[in-house]
Amino acid sequence: GESVGLHLPTLSVQEGDNSIINCAYSNSASDYFIWYKQESGKGPQFIIDIRSNMDKRQGQRVTVLLNKTVKHLSLQIAATQPGDSAVYFCAEITGTYKYIFGTGTRLKVLA
Amino acid sequence: NAGVTQTPKFRILKIGQSMTLQCTQDMNHNYMYWYRQDPGMGLKLIYYSVGAGITDKGEVPNGYNVSRSTTEDFPLRLELAAPSQTSVYFCASSLRHTYEQYFGPGTRLTVT
């Protein structure tokens, strides 16, 4: 069946280091992908998106990479800061309304 | 702009009780959504709306109802609360033809 999952439930990184959060998806027809950040007690916050016709997209301190061959999505956060501590999850979108959300990876930034 | 607001923040219901979760957005977004988030699970779409007067079922609509009489408001109704509806509920909105959804702060509901 269709699924979006994450390889690591918890990721601990040293402040200042780069973080890489991974996501696997199973639906090759998905044409759009989004990364969200969710802080404790808050709603998800859009970070960055990428369309299926792209391999890479960069934002401010964040980069999303899409490898359609192996159905893999990653979020790279440069120079990780304490404020980056949160749960990160990906979503794949097929068509207009079919969103499949991953369960999330908790990022812990160590001082 | 306040963005997407939800009330209440927390609620405890007894089995069989009813309640309405309120959601309002002030961004003039056409699309609005209701999700539930269970521990260790990804968000699940309950209902969505593409504009005032138009609603449709998502992945897990059983036990819920919605209405969309205005662009700004999208309330979610639970008629007969069940323990399986214990969850955190998020409302979201987006512009037509864009995928970036703006989420509210959530309502934590416990049914006992």
Contact B100 A49 (CB under 8 A): yes
B105 close to A (CB below 8 A): yes
DSSP code of residue B101 = P
- Best mutation site among B6, B46, B103, B107 for testing chain A: the one with the most A CBs within 10 Å? B103
The beta-carbon neighbor of A103 closest among B40, B56, B105 is: B40
Contact A89 B42 (CB under 8 A): yes
Distance between CA atoms of A23 and A68, rounded to whole angstroms? Answer: 12
| pLDDT above 50 (res A4) | no
pLDDT, one tens digit per residue, over B9-67 is 999 999 999 999 999 999 999 999 999 998 778 899 999 999 999 999 998 999 999 99
Q: Are B22 and B6 in contact (CB under 8 A)?
A: yes
What torsion, rounded to 10 degrees, do the Cα atoms A110, A12, A36, B75 define?
-80
Over residues A17-36, mean pLDDT: 92
Between B9 and A7, residue with greater pLDDT: B9
For residue A82 the two structure tokens come to: 């304490």
| pLDDT above 80 (res A5) | no
DSSP code of residue B73 = B
For residue B97, what pLDDT band results from cuts at 50, 70 and 90?
Answer: low
Highest mean pLDDT among A6-10, A94-98, B92-96: B92-96
What B63-71 contacts at long range (C-beta under 8 Å, 24+ apart), as own/partner pairs, is: B64/B34, B66/B34, B68/B32, B71/B28, B71/B29, B71/B30
Which pLDDT score, from 0 to 100, does residue A96 have?
65
Which pLDDT score, from 0 to 100, does residue B36 have?
96
Q: Residues A68, A73, A74, CA angle at the centre, nearest 5°?
A: 140
Cβ atoms < 10 Å from Cβ of A111: 6
Q: Which stretches does DSSP call E strand in chain B?
A: 4-7, 10-13, 19-25, 31-37, 44-51, 54-57, 64-66, 76-78, 87-94, 102-103, 107-111
A107 close to B (CB below 8 A): no
| pLDDT above 70 (res A3) | no
Q: CB under 8 Å to B69, separation ≥6 — which residues?
A: B52, B53
Which chain B residue has its CA at the smallest distance from A94's CA? B99
Contact B101 A93 (CB under 8 A): no
Contact A42 B42 (CB under 8 A): no
For residue B44 the two structure tokens come to: 């699940």
pLDDT, one tens digit per residue, over A85-108 is 999 999 998 876 778 888 889 999
| pLDDT above 60 (res B5) | yes
Residue B55 with chain A: CB contacts under 8 Å: none
Distance between CA atoms of B77 and B36, rounded to whole angstroms? Answer: 13
Report chain B's terminal Cα–Cα distance, integer Å: 36
B88 close to A (CB below 8 A): no
For residue B98, what pLDDT band results from cuts at 50, 70 and 90?
Answer: low
